[in-house]
Structure 1
């Protein structure tokens, strides 16, 4: 037998020098990014695999920079003098549409999404920025969507809108009363969240004691101007209140006051899952108040101005949410009454006061959809404060079981712990019972007065435990019932005197 013929050797891969890549069609990627992507694939003795490597590396660089509609191709060519051509196909937005918006201007929604304007090459970072701006308004959610365009080489963009009526109204009945006043309170509010199609808001709130409106009534108006492009908000507000409240030791404090203020809110550069803002504000305050001793009334009105700076931070995570705030408030001497007016209201007080507040809250998810919330609030003052600026404790939001703002102090802190069940409504009928939860809590507070008069108490403690339930029905009705037990005697509340707290509300 003749020996078998030897198998032919595989053809050597075509090799050539690559001295330059000519990238054609790019309009969005900086030259330095292109050079960094293709540099490893330059040099002598290269193959088609190196050209494919350069193409893939460049396409990946576009994707890394957020240009998800860009492709890089290798056109047919003959390599001459070491020059290889790569073609970039940038799919631009052919058509931008707004879908399902009922209450918001289609044109303004489009204008707020420049990253998806017709003729642009979409970039993820720009889309995310625009989406953040579009979703700042309450009652509106906008979701961008990209899909193949009707014209070859393009993509179409949809801004899918879910919106609610910007008109809001609510009414509530509760028994959150202050010392020596009737127990019932009625509050109502109306508002509109899309004035001038600019996303500006206006709201009006009113609270009174229906059994005796002369005891307590307050009205507040708020206007919020949002500047989505700058991510800023300007809030203007005015509050007018009057009261007729008997307090400690047979001393009646009759008060009426007006507050006019402004707040500017500036979001700060954030990190993934970390959001923070800076707030700057000023308030002009005019309180007309009289003190009555044994039927003799002396007037102690006061007018002054304060400035406030506040930092707020929020960090969500897989297990819950952490929020924190720090603020400083300063009295502006020269923009109000002289120091002797402050001293008349509180010995040792003056117009250049300052106090600092801090709060920290953690909402922690637990097994079986339970939630544990812990909160700590505190204030530290530079000097004795008039009552309008003091730290208060007692009431539904601060140590339930005591009357509202039962104790006041220059310095103080409050700690609260609350355990909440999962939504029990999910096992009934979600269309009827939207949300129903049961909770238990414990609160503790300490407050101190500075430079007190001889014989005057300078330290107060409050503590309570309790449980309750809250429910939301038919998307419009709300209610809650709490049983709170104060554990320490206070100015108006005795230990172990059980209080039943309730709210009934309706909203549009």
Structure 2
């Protein structure tokens, strides 16, 4: 019996080595005497940062800041006997820079007529009312003093409202220029109340500010105003710890995470963040810095992440498979449309991604087609479009990202058909609807499409707590993929955030362009989540997903049995 087992082992070794030798020349040959199972998990995919998720934006109406405005400017006008009339052929309106056509229509009704002084007063009242109806509440018109009407020409002067100054109080760390610059574009003359209130609402939802109150007061002359702003800054420093089984079991599913972020490090709205995570087989850290560069919330963003992992599952532990990877990201994001209920932004970025895999701890080795001696290098230009539309009950969010892998900065380039030269499109769509005063439904679709065979660094992963619950993290990894999800949030307590249950249904489908498709290609899960705010800052979550599509070689971890947990404590 022992001889038979030995013969089978030798034959298996020969078959596996023949299989590896048959693959593309970019894939490494195992060291002599080392047998590598064919179902080995991809060690690179486990170490790269999670694909960026769209934040869940719950529809919550934000009351606009109350803007108190002074009365329309009043200027002493001449008094004339009511029975005195003049033959007015032309009426000149001076000082207006807006509403030209509307004013001409009003003036046309009075020209070439015998008018009393009361008629001119009525005309200037109509012009003033026209300004008010178009939200120019601090603008007005008056009849010019000491004008001779015998020549048939009457003159009406318009005083258009403008800001004399912006006075800001209540700031502690944030520089006044941050607030002032975001109001100046909206306060250009003539002063428009609707435009100014919109800018104040944008300040109200700015994460750096907790409360904004505003008042317009009369300035040094008619039509001149002072905007007084009283603000309360939001807490800028945030930190916490997270314990969750959200990593792949092959590198240790339970991860401890510590994070810290300062949203206003140097006082002008710049943000610095850092994060460190650890599992039995993973050591990961990242740091990011974002700085605003203009008053329309344009930002330059830099991020660096470094990951070191090793496969710890018993089946592969003796092979000492490990991976080192790092990512440098630099991007510029600029909102083109920015309103309290709508935002559309464009961003362009450049990523340098590097990964190296090893076998027997220090021998470079490629586990798939494309990498050269275990090295994967991607230099990618990314062009992203973001759109959000919200109201009191609904949020619609969409993101589109085009990625171009280029032959630059030592990117992986070979003749295997799988290298760092590629094109891909990532699309994300999210719909959130408040179906009652307390219940919310969320639906999302994520997809990646590409005509190329991708390195593992750029492939689409399906399975796990962020994609399809009921399966282990990254169960399917493919060039192309589609994810769909529906989730309900049903509060069980008076405070909706204290305790809620979340029924969900999720599914995903992946396929490749050159290599064999994953087996199975399609997975789906149905289940229930529970969220509990134990105390302020301490949140617990448990999800249980039932897999609707059976998979082979199912493990025995909590993830493999569809159970996920997360404990998050954020005191700041």
Asked if Structure 1 and Structure 2 have the same fold, meaning a TM-score greater than 0.5 normalized by the shorter chain, the answer is yes
Structure 1 match to 2:563: 499
Change (3 A) 1:271 1:39: farther
C-alpha deviation, 1:314, in angstroms? 1.3
Structure 2 match to 1:323: 397
Relative to structure 2, which stretch is displaced further, 26-35 or 169-178? 26-35
Structure 2 match to 1:481: 542
Residue of structure 2 aligned with 1:218, choices 284, 294, 298: 284
SS in 2 for 1:470: strand
Unpaired segments of 5 or more residues in structure 2?
1-81, 367-372
> Distance between the aligned counterparts of 2:479 and 2:520, measured in 1?
10
Unpaired segments of 5 or more residues in structure 1?
1-11, 428-433
Change (3 A) 1:96 1:474: farther
Relative to structure 2, which stretch is displaced further, 313-322 or 271-280? 271-280
**1:233 is aligned to 2:302:** no
> Distance between the aligned counterparts of 2:313 and 2:420, measured in 1?
25
Residue of structure 2 aligned with 1:166, choices 230, 236, 256: 236
Tell me if structure 1 keeps the 8 A contact 2:462–2:473.
Answer: yes
C-alpha deviation, 1:281, in angstroms? 0.9
> Distance between the aligned counterparts of 1:203 and 1:435, measured in 2?
28
C-alpha deviation, 1:93, in angstroms? 4.2
Q: Alpha carbon RMSD of aligned pairs, Å?
A: 3.5
SS in 1 for 2:120: helix
SS in 2 for 1:180: helix
Q: Deviations over 1:128-185 (max 9, x none)?
A: 5753674575231463523443767454422121212312212111111203233321
Tell me if structure 1 keeps the 8 A contact 2:166–2:227.
Answer: yes
SS in 1 for 2:467: coil
C-alpha deviation, 1:366, in angstroms? 1.0
Residue of structure 1 aligned with 2:109, choices 37, 40, 46: 40
> Distance between the aligned counterparts of 1:407 and 1:351, measured in 2?
21
Alignment of 1:144-163 (within 5 A): 145-149=214-218, 153=222, 155-163=225-233
> Distance between the aligned counterparts of 1:132 and 1:235, measured in 2?
25
Structure 1 match to 2:342: 274
Change (3 A) 1:58 1:397: same
Change (3 A) 1:175 1:496: closer
Change (3 A) 1:22 1:296: closer
C-alpha deviation, 1:107, in angstroms? 5.1
Residue of structure 1 aligned with 2:488, choices 411, 419, 440: 419
Bigger fraction of residues in strand: 1
> Distance between the aligned counterparts of 1:59 and 1:72, measured in 2?
5
> Distance between the aligned counterparts of 2:553 and 2:350, measured in 1?
34
> Distance between the aligned counterparts of 1:418 and 1:424, measured in 2?
19
Residue of structure 1 aligned with 2:506, choices 443, 460, 464: 443
Change (3 A) 1:233 1:115: closer
Higher RCO (C-alpha 8 Å, min separation 6) = 2
Tell me if structure 1 keeps the 8 A contact 2:240–2:568.
Answer: no
Alignment of 1:357-368 (within 5 A): 357-368=426-437
Tell me if structure 2 keeps the 8 A contact 1:144–1:157.
Answer: no
Alignment of 1:364-443 (within 5 A): 364-422=433-491, 424-426=493-495, 435-443=498-506
TM score, norm. by length of structure 2 = 0.74
C-alpha deviation, 1:236, in angstroms? 0.7
Count residues with an aligned counterpart: 477
TM score, norm. by length of structure 1 = 0.82
Structure 1 match to 2:521: 460
